[in-house]
């Protein structure tokens, strides 16, 4: 969101110079979005020793470094020497690294905004989270220092994997934004619901990738991810006034990313079905997920204490995609077996599949 202050109150700029800065502020959001960074415009205050933030925009394409607005904040020369230097001398200050107000490692770039005579009247500041870059730099550094070829290979592999996950995560973010944009263009409730289903499927896949991209790990704790999916779905789709809780029982289970993604999608559909179909006109409900593994076999049960299924799970209409997707993922991706245990006291779905290459304890 872009916010800007009444410039005339805080600076001694001419009308034309103020108009120039206002113009620039209207483009600030696009700049923040394309550079995946927080961007600000600062002006010099009379006296020449302090600067003030007159406009800001947080990116929609990446997490912001700031939880609160800094609009109107005054920066002293000691705290922001780069900003003051650029404001007074009109020279850019690029690539400084520092710690943000919220304690995140960031890179700050400052460029002057000049009027038609070339006089600096404000600065454009870009601040971007670079904690991931730093982590990778450290890995590359230790890579350069490692002479052990096996260790080297392991490091290269983990760097490449992390980079791939990172790109996948970004792509999923772009797809979600596109769908959300398209969804807003429709006034039909049905169309919006279809989009929301797709968005929730993508979010569940993204959760798996977030997990992988975070530390460059190759395996995912599916118990942890299922908990996250539950929280996400409850917060985004439960009707106000209704109390539906999702519980995940069992031990942590680490699976390779392809199996973890399939399982995340399966659980996404089953939880969503519970929320959508099991608790009509009920005030509360419980959805329980239990994970067990024995040797190379994984057993997963998703149950709810709702009204039960009225349709036969085996002759589902082609119009409903959810359970067809579940069946396909369980049978084809996980090489497993899916069974339904519908009753009037709720629905229980069980999934059983082997983990290949598992070292049996």
Listing DSSP states for 278-319 in one string gives: ITTT-SEEEEEEEEEEETTEEEEEEEE-SS--SS-GGG--TT
Radius of gyration over every alpha carbon of the chain, rounded to an integer in angstroms:
26
Listing DSSP states for 177-234 in one string gives: HHHHHHHHT---HHHHHHHHHHHHHHHHHHHHHHHHHHHT-SEEEHHHHHHHHHHHHH
Which of the ranges 51-59, 92-100, 207-215, 307-315 carries the binding residues for ligand ATP, by CB under 6 A? 307-315
What is the nearest approach in angstroms of ligand ATP to the Cβ of residue 197? 4
278 contact choice in Mg ion, ligand ATP, none (CB below 5 to 8 Å, kind-dependent): ligand ATP
Residue number closest to Mg ion, CB atom: 322
Between 183 and 321, name the residue whose CB sits nearer to ligand ATP: 321
- In whole angstroms, give the CA distance from residue 135 to residue 113: 33
Q: Which residue carries 């579940």 as its tokens?
A: 326
306 contact choice in ligand ATP, Mg ion, none (CB below 5 to 8 Å, kind-dependent): ligand ATP
Residue number closest to ligand ATP, CB atom: 322
In the list 82, 112, 306, 322, the residue contacting Mg ion (rule: CB under 5 A) is 322
β-strands 297-304, 254-256: how paired?
Answer: unpaired
Between 273 and 305, name the residue whose CB sits nearer to Mg ion: 273
**Per-residue mark of binding to Mg ion, 271-310 (x: CB under 5 A):** --x-------------------------------------
Buried b (16+ CB within 10 A) or exposed e, 278-295: bbeeeeebbbbbebebee
β-strands 254-256, 93-99: how paired?
Answer: unpaired
Name residues contacting ligand ATP, limited to 195-224 (CB under 6 A): 197
User: Which segments of the chain does DSSP mark as H helices, in order?
Assistant: 7-10, 15-26, 28-35, 81-89, 131-145, 149-184, 189-215, 222-237, 257-273, 322-328
Buried b (16+ CB within 10 A) or exposed e, 310-348: eeebeeeeeeeebbebbeebbeebbebebeeebeeebbb
What is the nearest approach in angstroms of Mg ion to the Cβ of residue 275? 9
Q: Does 152 bind ligand ATP (CB under 6 A)?
A: no
**Per-residue mark of binding to ligand ATP, 285-304 (x: CB under 6 A):** -------------------x
**Burial of 179 from C-beta contacts in 10 A (0-12 / 13-18 / 19+):** middle
What is the nearest approach in angstroms of ligand ATP to the Cβ of residue 99? 45
Which of the ranges 36-44, 128-136, 246-254, 268-276 carries the binding residues for Mg ion, by CB under 5 A? 268-276
Total interface residues for ligand ATP by CB under 6 A = 18
Q: Are 288 and 257 in contact (CB under 8 A)?
A: no
Total interface residues for Mg ion by CB under 5 A = 2
In the list 20, 309, 334, 351, the residue contacting ligand ATP (rule: CB under 6 A) is 309
44 contact choice in Mg ion, ligand ATP, none (CB below 5 to 8 Å, kind-dependent): none
Between 250 and 313, name the residue whose CB sits nearer to ligand ATP: 313
304 contact choice in Mg ion, ligand ATP, none (CB below 5 to 8 Å, kind-dependent): ligand ATP
Positions in the binding site for ligand ATP (CB under 6 A):
197, 269, 273-274, 276-278, 304, 306-307, 309, 311, 316, 320-323, 347
Positions in the binding site for Mg ion (CB under 5 A):
273, 322
């Amino acid at each position: 969101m872009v916010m800007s202050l009444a410039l005339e109150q805080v600076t001694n700029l001419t009308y034309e110079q103020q108009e120039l800065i206002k113009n620039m502020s209207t483009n600030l959001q696009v700049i923040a979005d394309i550079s995946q960074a927080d961007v600000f415009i600062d002006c010099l205050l009379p006296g020449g020793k302090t600067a003030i933030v007159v406009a800001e925009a947080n990116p929609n394409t990446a997490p912001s470094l700031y939880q609160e607005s800094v609009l109107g904040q005054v920066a002293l020369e000691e705290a922001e020497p780069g900003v003051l230097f650029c404001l007074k001398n009109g020279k850019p200050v690029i690539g400084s690294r520092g710690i943000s107000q919220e304690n995140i490692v960031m890179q700050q770039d400052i460029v002057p905004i000049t009027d038609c005579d070339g006089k600096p009247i404000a600065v454009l500041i870009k601040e971007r989270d670079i904690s991931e870059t730093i982590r990778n730099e450290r890995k590359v550094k230790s890579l350069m220092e490692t002479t052990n070829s096996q260790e080297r290979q392991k490091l290269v592999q983990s760097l490449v994997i992390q980079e791939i996950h990172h790109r996948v995560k970004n792509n999923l973010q772009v797809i979600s934004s596109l769908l959300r944009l398209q969804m807003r263009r429709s006034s039909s409730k049905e169309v919006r619901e279809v989009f929301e289903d797709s968005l929730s499927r993508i979010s569940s896949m993204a959760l798996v990738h977030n997990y992988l991209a975070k530390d460059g790990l190759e395996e995912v704790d599916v118990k942890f991810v299922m908990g996250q999916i539950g929280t996400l779905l409850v917060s985004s789709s439960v009707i106000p006034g209704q109390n539906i809780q999702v519980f995940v029982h069992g031990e942590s289970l680490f699976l390779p990313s392809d199996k973890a993604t399939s399982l995340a999608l399966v659980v996404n559909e089953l939880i969503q079905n519970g929320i959508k179909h099991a608790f009509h006109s009920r005030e509360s409900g419980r959805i329980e997920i239990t994970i067990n593994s024995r040797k190379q076999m994984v057993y997963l049960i998703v149950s709810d204490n709702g009204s039960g299924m009225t349709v036969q799970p085996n002759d589902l209409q082609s119009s409903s995609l959810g359970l067809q997707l579940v069946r396909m993922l369980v049978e084809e991706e996980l090489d497993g077996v899916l069974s339904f245990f519908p009753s009037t006291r709720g629905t229980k779905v069980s999934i059983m599949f082997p983990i290949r290459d598992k070292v049996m304890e």
